[in-house]
Structure 1
């Protein structure tokens, strides 16, 4: 899957942070306890990306479920952070980065429709805005998600794919690990991505929050 490291830079506005005063609450960021590790990190493999080495080994304790046949997703729900949003298909822009949902539709997320569908073997990608000019958007609280949380994806075939969160991590844009996030997986996996990190008036949010999850059931 050839997606540039600048994929989700446009998934945030931050304009409302500048004009909302001191009472504005910035989006939560994942704690170190929610990150993956060599013991329980997402997927498995090793490599070098973003100027640093990365390694993850043993699979998470929650057993993986058998892969589902391909079927486009229509909705994503993350009960722990009160997400219940429709999904639209996203393609690549002429520059090779992932396009984004319309910023004005704050409760709309998207999935990379030229890639893996959520539930089939491989790495499925879902992305959404953290905010827009009016305030928080669909994945504003993504950084508060915890390991073990459930992500539900309604599929067009009438089924629901159930994913368990393995890790929630934040990466600086300049060190975004493309292969770790977007690389092929040997089982059904899901990445949910939005903006995160510090905010700069000149450049916007300085990084991205990424949720790593794998399929653990369906109904």
Structure 2
């Protein structure tokens, strides 16, 4: 499975790993999307946010749980790394209720763009991000962090991109704001490459901390 590729965000069944979808339930083995690795943002960013203001932010702390009540998500986190292929490895395919974050990048709530990936489905069942496409601008979700704080994020937009035309800079670009990207697979399932044709990205910003 591949989630983030060297230059584009894609998930392929055999190459670069990152989070997200697997093959449709009951069909081929799980396949995950793959987000671009080389330009994965770090924890300290400098360019202004889209609104022109940096907004609130938290100190660095690992995320422990993602909660999106609207779509029934309540899932623990696992760390994801850039694999030998140059793509971000996906979460384990045998756990349908698990999300991963790029542990070498910004943590959720910290200034920068935090990347969170989850599978769309597995060979046998829907997975944690099966309903991610149901989110709309204005929806909110929470991320519990290891330091005991709770970060609340508000969705700015939900968009799908062809894997061969992924807007890398827009998704991973530097920012002084505390942003999160939730990423999974989308589109049709291509059996020839055992992967989905698109990636779904939820763009969100930090709203409240506690």
Contact kept in structure 2, 1:8 and 1:194, CA below 8 Å:
no
Are the structure 2 counterparts of residues 125 and 88 from structure 1 closer, same or farther at C-alpha, using a change threshold of 3 Å?
Answer: same
Match of 1:12 in 2: 21
Deviation (angstroms), 1:5:
3.6
1:150 aligns with 2:152: no
Supply the distance in 2 between the matched residues of 1:12 and 1:105 (Cα, whole angstroms): 12
Which residues of 2 match residues 94-173 of structure 1 at below 5 A?
Answer: 94-173=84-163
1:35 is matched with none
Structure number with greater Rg is 1
Q: Does 1:210 align with 2:201?
A: yes
**Structure 2 unaligned runs (5+)?**
13-19, 29-46
Q: Deviations over 1:143-195 (max 9, x none)?
A: 11111111210000001000000000000000011111111111100000000
Shift of 1:59: 2.5
| TM norm structure 1 | 0.76
Deviation at 1:3, TM superposition (A): 6.2
Structure 1 residue 196: Cα displacement: 0.2
1:6 is displaced (CA, Å) by 4.7
Report if the CA contact (8 A) 2:67-2:143 is conserved: yes
Q: CA deviation at 1:90?
A: 0.4
Residue 172 of structure 2 is matched in structure 1 by 182
8 A Cα contact 1:8 1:193, kept in partner: no
Identify the match of residue 191 of structure 1 among 176, 181, 187: 181
Contact 1:121 1:187 in 2 (8 A): yes
* Counterpart-to-counterpart distance in 1, 2:120 and 2:54: 29
Bigger proportion of residues as strand: 1
Structure 1 residues 172, 17: closer, same or farther in 2, change over 3 A?
A: farther
Preserved CA contact (<8 Å) 1:7 1:98: no
- Are the aligned partners of 1:98 and 1:112 in contact in 2 as well (CA < 8 Å)? yes
Paired residue total:
181
Q: Contact 2:97/2:127 (CA < 8 Å) preserved in 1? A: yes
CA distance in 2, matches of 1:108, 1:156: 17
Provide the C-alpha distance between the structure 1 equivalents of 2:54 and 2:69, rounded to a whole number of angstroms: 20
SS of equivalent to 1:147: coil
SS in structure 1 at match of 2:164: helix
Tell me the distance in 2 between the aligned counterparts of 1:173 and 1:143. 17
The whole-number CA distance in structure 2 between the counterparts of 1:186 and 1:17 is 43
